Amino acid sequence: MDIIPAIDIIDGKCVRLTQGDYTQKTIYNENPLEVAKQFEDAGLKRLHLVDLDGAKAGSVKNWKVLESIAGNTQLVIDFGGGIKKEEDLNIVFKAGASLATIGSMAVKQETVFCEWIKKYGPDRFLLGADVKENKITISGWLEDTATDVFDFISNYVSKGILNVFCTDVSKDGLLEGPSSDLYKEIIKKFPSLYFIASGGVSSMDDLIRLEMIGCKGAIIGKAIYEGRISLQQLTEFNSGK
């Protein structure tokens, strides 16, 4: 299972929100590149980079942070937040992202997103399924929908999408453990997915559990920044010790 650390960006700084609430913001580091290099030095290969300013504004804002990290590390970066137009998509790819993370747009502009999948290839996208009580929630978790998470994933699997991450909004940033039962069900229904768990990871035990149920990756944010999981532990987990 790939360990995928998360860096969330506001005003060019590394922050974390609790349950997507912009008023519950903690700044962890003024220099995201420094944080990314620490992850790389620990032997991690991937990075989940989120432009929270972009998510709020509806257009990519912190692409220079992406460019800086992509240009100074070997990390495989997926970048999300504010990718609504093809112009933004091209900025993200040009700045060095391997994958563009698409969430709200996959709900609101399905036709456009499907065109992108055909044009750029499904392997260039990471589909974000943010859920509240098994229903998709969008726009930085500010807007609920009636779309069932299984229907949502099924629709895009049929379009060739294989990279999917799922965040249970009720768990995010609370360090109370991930939604293992939901993830187990998704993996069972869609065994071909490169499925990534996101939200709620608070300990190494959580990671071991996620690997056991078949997750291919796990996104971790707050647990690292709050010292619940050390980079040394992640290095050892990665090396199979």
Tokens of 132: 């509240």
By three-state DSSP, how is residue 131 classified?
strand
Q: DSSP class of residue 121?
A: -
By three-state DSSP, how is residue 221 classified?
coil
By three-state DSSP, how is residue 8 classified?
strand
Instruction: Give the integer Cα–Cα distance in Å for 7 and 68.
Output: 13
Spatial contact of 37 and 229, defined as CB atoms under 8 Å apart: no
CA-closest candidate to residue 136, choices 110, 100, 160? 110
Residue 181 bears catalytic tag: no
Spatial contact of 100 and 129, defined as CB atoms under 8 Å apart: no
Among residues 51, 53, 130, 206, which one is catalytic?
130
Residue 8 bears catalytic tag: yes
Residues annotated as part of the active site: 8, 130
